[in-house]
Amino acid sequence: MSLIEYIISLYAPHNCIACDAETDTLLCPHCVDILSVVPPRCYRCKTVNRGIKTCNSCRSNTPISHVYVATYYDDESARRLLHLVKYGRARAGVQSMADCIMPRLQGMPVEAVLVPVPTASSRVRQRGFDQSVLLAREISARTGRPVAHFLARLGQAHQVGAGRAERITHLKGAFRPLHTRSIRGTYVVLVDDVLTTGATLETAARVLKAAGATQVDAIVFAQAG
């Protein structure tokens, strides 16, 4: 998208960013329907299976049991949508992300609790919002599953004065659990916008499992590759 197109898109809230049709959000229902569908597969080795289950051989390397994925990060509309959300079109953009995710959530257990994966805090301060939190709220409104803020991101404030070795530890364990009494016995579904290596989700899942979560799944809008 050129700069001019981008600026126009900011001031034309009622046109689909992909086909220009009139719509209430950023992607019209037709363009939501034609987003590339990720086949049911293990999110780690990408072996296609009948569900969205982590396969047995990957299961020993990850605490995450299932990952619901809306689409591919390579999809042009998905990338454009994420870009617009990050640069200010949060509300309408998050609604479109949820439109894409909803059809993939069949089978999500009723007892699931949605836990947004917090974005690094300096980026949230710059933007004024955390898109994972907004996305979790939108999915919550549509599915009736509650949102719980069980994770805090260890940001720069926590590293002030820390030595190099400590800082590395902080980056490795980039989350700490919150409300640990409520985490115990909970079926957690993490919510994040993009899945690349899976390292962030897996770190978050390990923290929650260690705090007593019985199962950790995840919902992501777009997966790279």
Residues that bind Zn ion (CB under 5 A): 16, 18-19, 21, 28, 31, 42, 44-45, 55, 58
Complete edge-to-edge strand list for the sheet that includes strand 215-223? 64-72, 215-223, 187-195, 112-116
Residue with tokens 């590339």: 36
Distance separating alpha carbons of residues 86 and 199, to the nearest angstrom: 21
Residue with tokens 């086909």: 19
Nearer to Zn ion among residue 58 and residue 194 (C-beta): 58
Tell me the pairing of strands 215-223 and 187-195: parallel
* DSSP bridge partners of 218: 67, 190
